[in-house]
Structure 1
Amino acid sequence: MRNSAFTSAMVIVLVVSAVAGAAGAVTAQNTEQAASVSFSGGTSGGSTVVVDEVRVPDGGFVTIHDDTLTDGDVLGSVVGTSAYLEAGTHENVTVELTDGIDTGTFHAMAHRDTDGDRAYTFVSSNGEVDGPYTVDGEIVMENVEVTASATVEASDQPTEGSSVVVDRVELSEGGFVTVHDSSLADGAVFESIRGTSGYLEAGVHEDVRVRLDDPLAENDSLFAMAHQDTNDNEAYDFPATEGESDGPYLDGDDEIVMAGFDAQLDEEARATFEAQASGGNAVVVDEVYLPDGGFVTMHDSSLADGAVFESIRGTSDYLEPGIHRDVVVSLDEPLTDDDSLFAMAHRDTNDNETYDFPATEGEADGPYTTDSGDIVMDDGAVTVSAGVAFDGQTVDGTTVTVDRVDVSEGGFVTIHDASLAGGAVFDSVRGTSEYLEPGVHEDVVVELDDPIRDTHQLIAMPHTDSDDDRVYDFVETEGESDGPYVDGDEEIVMADATVQLTAFVEAADQETDGETVVVEDVTLHDGGFVTVHDSSLADGAVFESIRGTSDYLQPGTHTAVEITLDDPLTEDDTVLAMAHRDTNDNEAYDFPATDGASDVPYVAAGSPVMSPAELTIPGDDGMDGEDMDGEDANDDETMDGGDGMDAGEMNDEGEMNDEGEMSDDGEMNDDGEMGDDGETSDEATADGTTGDDTPGFGVVVALVALIAGALVARRRS
């Protein structure tokens, strides 16, 4: 097993240097200069903005605030924050936004990392940490107009003529990307259209394949143009309506948002396969171009010895004609030792979209070849260790999902926060998966030991199980056991991602009188409410399940939020404390009154941000009157007045024993039990309520509750 001989000191140095290297270079180091920000704004696709330059002498962040900042909304105005920036000057810093934005004025502000954890916690700390840089008493920031529209990126590429791939499309309100040919430059607005993507939701889309309705017959300069969905029908109607609907997105200068690229007709396939670490169960082919469609097959090094069929380790699914990037190929026969693998482009000669090359002994689905007769393939060294894929996501603060983990000898995937790059090898650990058997694991959910309350840069790192006990001991042994997997260059195998968070809720199990619920911890980045739903929510009763809602909560963190229930609980239940936005900015909860049109829940990974809590109502034991007739009770539980009465049972005269709260004369004591005169104590008023305005028990109700409690206790014993 690799790295099993590392000492803890070596592991610490290895991890810190690896993460620091992955963080990227600072363009200029000059910590003596004052902090500064340069922000030209321009056009955004609604999900990201780019800050031209930021200087942070002591390290920190650049944060984007919307214009509510000028109204004093210091916390709620935050709409996005960069990853941690090392001390120095950084250019073209991309900031991912937590929510889509509208056109308006935005402020790029330089923030410190006052607590040294490399995570921006200004909002969740209610402004107590990570405040802004100042120069001569003025906050370091620059404001500018940003147009929320779209951005498009496309690169030159080969094509067989029937499709092209647009590298990246970012849309603020959803729509399409349309490919126009070069006749667009001559004014052929509609005639130049060659093809359009399917409907794209608002957000970022990468490697968007556009099939050309009118295939290319020659090389051409093409334009990838972002189009709106102005009639909200998710169908591209621009040419059919002669431009009345679904027109192009425009930037801040009223120019069409588009990107030009050259498409070259090419009948020769190609493949690119870089050296990589793998758990031996899957590999990733960087890029393959198949002019007629087909497959990419992985052969091991025995191919060089003539083992044409025996060398096959795995094959991709069928790939349609064109370029494909980051193709994951599962290996039917896993690698157990480091080896050089060959990514070979294969045809689909019988057009059945099934790889039949070995089954037909080479008669069908043979490899693509070059004009000179050479097989199209590329080789790369594969180190048998581990592989991991970890994409950006929205979270509720309690868990994150690692897209794919491939471990050769079993182990774990551990989530580290950004403090890892600062040397916090052990303190940066936020959570670890259960033990993972050798093989590929997809969508691995990792529960965080310490929840996060802000957007974070997190690192997914596969770890070995070096002591074979199926327990993650890396932190406890200070790196002696269960160290990280490493690749062929002895570098840590890991992947980082931005994890977006806009709300966090934590509710604990509690005993309640049914009138109130206390939510322990709430962080709302845009302010809003916390609503308590009862368990009927699980049955689809979205509005009927609402029992109560908090007052309006300002952006930031709130603790011990007490919610009065409009519809009190009368029995034990599992409730859900759900975070809601204030979408109409009136600080009143309008979700049920508007049938869900306003004040919708905060959402993470497609689900509402909420926390369950078991509520216990004192005296509620789940029994009703039908359970008290004695007919269903066993011999030990019947009310037959026999000898041997246990505590809490009645004697022959119908009186409770010494421990059963009823005195010899059938009266209740001063603690709310029967008194000497047969009345309740002076803590209960004549109208049946207690002195502190909580509901009181009548004599019969109290007696039934006591009996029921005794029966429940007997059953449990």
Structure 2
Amino acid sequence: MFGTLKRLLAVLIAVAIVIAAGAVVGQAPELFGSEVVEDPEASIEFTDQTGDGTAVTIDNVSLSHGGFVVVDDGTGTIVGVSDYLGAGEHENVTVEQREDDDLEMLGQLTATVHRDTTDDETFAFEETDGEEDRPYVEDGYPVSDTATVTVEERLDEEAPSTSFLVESVDAPESVTTNETLEVVAEIRNPNEVEMRQHVELRVSGEVLERQILALEAEETRELTFEVDGSALEPGEQVYGVYTTDDGALGELEVIYDGPATIEVLEAGTSSVTVDATLPDDGFVAIEDETGDVVGTSDPLEAGEHAEVTVGFDEEVDDGEELTVVLYEGEPAELDEAEPFEEDGERVDATATAEEADEDDDE
């Protein structure tokens, strides 16, 4: 009897030790002074402003782990980096132009929040080819904001702007995606001395080409920009030619001009996901084995569309053969819509409906 009591007592002590150990493990970070590291988070506010080209002001930036604000000119060229910023919120942060940078901090600029992954309070993104001090990321994109910086009004009449002037800009009203867009701008040097300045072509705010232009005093010259139409987004676009302190805008229609294509990415019993390109406005339709349409996409504009998901009116059977068809017209007017054709054959693709594996959702 006494031996049985001893064994029971030993078991109870062992259980108590295990429970206590579990509590210690569960509180290990607190007991040993370590903290659970949260995902780095940041936010930034960079609004339009005036300046002299040597510095910009970031209205507000918040960094969970400290870092830097990096300003680039829209092409990826860095023109300024802030001092190290500790974790927390910072207001009215000044980012100065780099001493060795001949590009002024004017025009459309992008400010991006970078981490200090090397923990040395020194910006190392460039010298490590982007391996260190990478940007903070939200939803897969760098945390950034864009602003336009224009030259502030000059109070000294004896020191006017030396910027080249854009006298006119000309381009076709429309261009297709397989053509070359040609924009011709008339640029004038209003100064009494020869000068050398950069001139940019932007489409919908994105810098697509930059040229360096040298002009004699009071000289005017035409400057031609050429851009491959495949680099342009189909639809109505605004383009502009900009100098340091001047610019001119125009409107352009980009027309997709390519074949209709369809590629099935995933096929289930309740939906199909595809990549599609359409020469004209249209939609994607899914047909079952009998040829009946079981689902249509939302209306799609002409051009390229990635990961278009088409839901079915009712689920189809696992293993059923489906046909994905590209139509021109409106999905709400299916009877009047016509399939896109290439070489006399309608553009479609086949897919087999596969029921989702429950293990994939766990």
After TM superposition, the score normalised by the length of structure 1 is 0.16
The structure carrying a bigger strand percent of its residues is 2
Higher relative contact order (CA 8 A, sep 6+): 2
Q: Which has the larger radius of gyration?
A: 1
